[in-house]
Chains A and B, each alone.
Chain A
């Protein structure tokens, strides 16, 4: 299973490195979303005169919501990433080829999830830097933030690959992915936001319970994916 997973992960990463769709299209989309959040919520400074020593930093609503907005931007980019991950399979009937290749379906699931995880990691790094820049989000406990990000990303990838397989293929299906994905991922988003807020404030103790919830979710969704992916691939 692990060998097959590694093979599929290699394949997906090679395709991505060649086509650079995530880097050229999904990443800028994420950046635009973060920018738009800033426009929607942040205060627009319209005073013509700026005196020396005045504090122009974005306080208030935007700073308080920065962790949640970051995760929303990541989730929206993740959905597009999932759609891309399965779009490469629908071309040239690659999905049938994958089925006929006698690779272990659990391995295919883990491979696709792994490739998606690497892409999400790059996305989160750039979006996180952008968010801390634009929202004034300064992280005190970095390890907590990174751990929360890792576990939440594992959940996102697990659910994404399962629903991506469900929702790809026929034309009527692709718009189903956001409707299925968002409600299931909402508790993960909530936990990740709370954990990251604890990391921003610098209070690891309050963040640990959310980390535990995230760990449970990741385990659940990975197990579900490993069990269910075979039958999903068959249609």
Chain B
């Protein structure tokens, strides 16, 4: 079986997942577009902030997605570490979700910065919330670097799990920073925990809600794609490992290469009833004298060695 056929022969479940992801992608595009249109053109400017308020349709949803992403990653990590639910798929989900989380943390910082420049007069300030969010960004960058270390998937997963647990400690600190410290950042607009009131109304409230929905859909789409990519990568790596093992086998037992069919699917010289022969594959050595590859023959002749089936045999 070639690599192409191994990967493209998707199971029905995979095909369903692909279709679902495509649907979510379409919904994401539509809702994001609608949010942008509403946010930039339809909703009115704010009483105090003017047109600057339009960032509220983007910045809080991005921050919300950041928390969701890290929360999903944390739960996946816990599920992986719990022996009864240990499955490499949870580790892949944790990695995918953390990666999306890092992207959204960066976007949170950037969109917040853009809001801050006209509001506070500066792009950045060493405020508790901003500092802890920047710290969160760097911590999860370290976690992603940890995930890139080469090694056996299970060892890598366990290592990343511990790193992920440590990195998650900062997430509740960021979430409650506005309440615990006198932060320059404003208190929550929707359902302020201290007063219980919501400070946004009308078309702006609906656009904000739509913004939350749109970015959550974007999060689901990105994580689904990244998760699938991680699974494909693992599958490809194990395929390459299989190929490498076959190469080593062929090197070690040259007399038998091409005689029997191998596990990768090539036919051999021996006629196995019912086995399909693939003559287009260069690895098939039907009728070829076993022992040396064509490029090896010249060198061996130069140093005086002949093929096994040569005249000197």
List B residues 162-199 near A (Cβ within 8 Å): 162-163, 165-167, 169, 173
Report whether B162 and A235 are in contact in the complex, using a CB–CB cutoff of 8 Å.
no
Contact A176 B149 (CB under 8 A): yes
Per the 8 Å Cβ criterion, residues 213-239 of B in contact with A are: none
Residue of B nearest to A228 (CB): B162
- B162 near A162 with CB under 8 A, answer yes
Q: A180-B163, A228-B162, A232-B162 are in contact. Are A170 and B141 (CB under 8 A)?
A: no
Q: Are B150 and A172 in contact (CB under 8 A)?
A: yes
How many chain A residues touch B (CB < 8 A): the figure is 21
Name the distance in Å between B202's Cβ and chain A's nearest Cβ: 41
What is the predominant secondary structure among interface residues of chain B facing chain A? helix
Distance in angstroms between the alpha carbons of A166 and B146 in the assembled complex: 9
Chain B residues, Cβ within 8 Å of A201:
none
Residue contact B150 to A183, C-beta cutoff 8 Å:
no
Q: Which chain B residues lie closer than 8 Å to A183 at the CB level?
A: 135, 138-139, 142
B164 to chain A, nearest CB (A): 11
Range of interface residues on chain B?
A: 20 to 34
Contact B149 A173 (CB under 8 A): yes
Q: Is the CB of B146 within 8 A of A176?
A: yes
Task: Indicate whether B159 reaches chain A with its CB closer than 8 angstroms.
Answer: yes
- Chain B CB within 8 A of A36 CB: no
Residues on B with C-beta less than 8 A from A228 are 162, 165
Q: Is there a chain B Cβ closer than 8 Å to A146's Cβ?
A: no
Tell me the bound Cα distance from A228 to B163 in angstroms: 10
B277, CB-defined interface residue at 8 Å: no
Which partner residue on chain B sits nearest A229 by CB separation? B162
List B contacts of A162 (CB < 8 A).
Answer: 162, 166
Complex CA distance for A228 and B159, rounded to whole angstroms: 10
Contacts of B141 in A (CB 8 A): 179
Task: Please indicate the chain A residues that have their CB under 8 angstroms from the CB of B139 in the complex.
Answer: 183-184
Within A178-232, which residues are at the interface with B (CB < 8 Å)? 179-180, 182-184, 186-187, 220, 224, 228, 231-232
B303 within 8 Å of A (CB atoms): no
B142-A235 in contact (CB<8A): no
B residues within 8 A CB of A220? 169
The answer to whether A232 and B149 touch (CB under 8 A), given A184-B139, A186-B135, is: no
Complexed CA–CA distance, A182 and B149 (Å):
19
> Does A180 lie within 8 Å of B142, measured CB to CB?
yes
Minimal Cβ-Cβ distance residue in A for B162: A228
**B159 and chain A: residue at smallest CB distance:** A166
Q: How far is A176 from B169 in the complex, measured between Cα atoms in Å?
A: 20
Given A232-B159, A235-B155, decide whether A179 and B166 contact each other with a Cβ distance below 8 A: no
Which of B142, B146, B149, B173 has the most A CB atoms < 10 Å from its CB? Answer: B142
Tell me, in angstroms, the Cα distance from A183 to B146 when the chains sit together.
14
A180 to B149, CA, bound (A): 13
Tell me, in angstroms, the Cα distance from A37 to B313 when the chains sit together. 78
B165 proximity list for chain A (CB < 8 A): 224, 228
B292 CB → nearest A CB, Å: 36
Q: Is residue B253 within 8 Å, beta carbon to beta carbon, of the partner chain?
A: no
Q: Is the CB of A184 within 8 A of B155?
A: no
Chain A residue at minimal CB-CB distance from B166: A184
Query: Does A176 lie within 8 Å of B145, measured CB to CB?
Result: yes
B250 at the interface (CB under 8 A from A): no
Tell me if B89 is interfacial: C-beta within 8 Å of chain A. Answer: no
Least CB separation from A190: chain B residue: B131
The reply on B294 being an interface residue by CB < 8 A is no
Tell me if A179 and B145 are in contact (CB < 8 A). Answer: yes
- Specify which chain A residues have a CB less than 8 angstroms from the CB of B158 in the assembled complex: 231, 234-235
Name B132's closest neighbour in chain A (CB-CB). Answer: A187
Shortest CB-to-CB span from A189 to chain B, Å, is 11
Complex Cα distance, B159 from A170, in Å, reads 14
Task: Specify the chain B residue showing the minimal Cβ separation from A232.
Answer: B162
**Chain B residues with CB below 8 A from A235, complex form:** 151, 155, 158-159
Which residues in A have their C-beta under 8 angstroms from that of B151? 170, 235
Task: Name the contact of A166 in the complex, choosing from B150, B162, B173 (C-beta under 8 A).
Answer: B162
Closest-CB distance, A46 to chain B (whole angstroms): 32
Which residues of B (112-155) have their CB < 8 Å from a CB of A?
Answer: 135, 138-139, 141-142, 145-146, 149-151, 155
CB-defined A-B contacts under 8 Å, sample of 19:
A170-B149, A172-B150, A176-B149, A179-B141, A179-B145, A180-B145, A180-B146, A183-B135, A183-B138, A183-B139, A187-B173, A220-B169, A224-B165, A228-B165, A232-B162, A234-B155, A235-B151, A235-B155, A235-B159
Supplied contacts A224-B165, A235-B151, 13 more A-B pairs, CB within 8 Å: A166-B159, A176-B146, A179-B141, A180-B145, A182-B138, A184-B139, A184-B166, A184-B167, A186-B135, A187-B173, A228-B162, A234-B158, A235-B158
A-B complex: 10 closest residue pairs judged by Cβ atoms: A183-B139, A183-B138, A235-B155, A180-B142, A179-B142, A228-B162, A231-B158, A183-B135, A186-B135, A179-B145
